[in-house]
Amino acid sequence: MTETTTQRNHSTGSLSRGRTSPIDQVQLFERKYDPLTRDIIGALPLDRSWRCLELGAGGGSMAGWLAGRADRGSVLAVDVDTSHLTTVHAEPPANLTIRQADIADADFAPGSFDLVLARAVFEHLAEPAAVLERAVRWLAPGGWLVVEDFYYLPPEDSISEVGRTLIEGYLRRMRAQGADLWWGRRLPASLASAGLTSVASRVTPAGPGQSAADDELIALRMRQEGHVLVDNGVVTAEQLADFVGSLGDPRVRDTTTLLVSAWGQRPTA
Would you say residue 58 lies in a domain? yes
4 pLDDT band, cuts 50/70/90, is very low
Number of domains in the chain: 1
Q: 154: which DSSP letter? A: P
What is the mean predicted confidence (pLDDT) over 208-217? Answer: 93
Asked whether the beta carbons of 171 and 13 are under 8 A apart, the reply is: no
What is the mean predicted confidence (pLDDT) over 166-183? Answer: 87
Q: Which residue type, as a one-letter code, is found at position 71?
A: D
What is the mean predicted confidence (pLDDT) over 124-152? Answer: 95
Would you say residue 109 lies in a domain? yes
| Neighbouring residues of 42: CB distance < 8 A, sequence distance ≥ 6 | none
> Does the global pTM surpass 0.85?
yes
pLDDT, tens digit, for every residue of 139-173? 999 999 999 999 999 999 998 888 888 888 888 88
22 pLDDT band, cuts 50/70/90, is low
pLDDT of 12 > 70? The answer is no
Supply the pLDDT for residue 8. Answer: 36
| Neighbouring residues of 226: CB distance < 8 A, sequence distance ≥ 6 | 15, 166, 235, 240, 244
Supply the pLDDT for residue 1. Answer: 63
Most confident of 21-25, 78-82, 189-193, 210-214: 189-193
Percent of the chain scored above 90 by pLDDT? 63
Cα–Cα nearest to 98, from 113, 77, 117, 80: 77
What 3-state class would DSSP assign to 3? strand
Supply the pLDDT for residue 17. Answer: 36
pLDDT of 116 > 70? The answer is yes
Would you say residue 161 lies in a domain? no
Would you say residue 239 lies in a domain? no
Instruction: Give buried/exposed letters for 89-107 (b at 16+ CB in 10 A, else e).
Output: beebeebbbbbbbbbbebe
pLDDT of 9 > 60? The answer is no
210 pLDDT band, cuts 50/70/90, is very high
CATH number, residue 108: 3.40.50.150
Would you say residue 195 lies in a domain? yes
Would you say residue 68 lies in a domain? yes
Q: In terms of residue numbers, what domain contains 42?
A: 2-155+179-205+256-265
The span from the CA of 33 to the CA of 238, in Å, is: 31
The span from the CA of 133 to the CA of 203, in Å, is: 23
The span from the CA of 203 to the CA of 211, in Å, is: 15
pLDDT of 11 > 60? The answer is no
Computed over every residue of the chain, the mean pLDDT equals 89
According to DSSP H, which parts of the chain are helical?
Answer: 23-42, 61-69, 83-88, 128-138, 161-176, 183-193, 212-231, 237-246
Cα–Cα nearest to 112, from 163, 160, 51: 51
Asked whether the beta carbons of 98 and 85 are under 8 A apart, the reply is: yes
Distance, C-alpha 189 to centroid of its chain: 19
Would you say residue 108 lies in a domain? yes
Would you say residue 67 lies in a domain? yes
What is the mean predicted confidence (pLDDT) over 31-54? Answer: 96
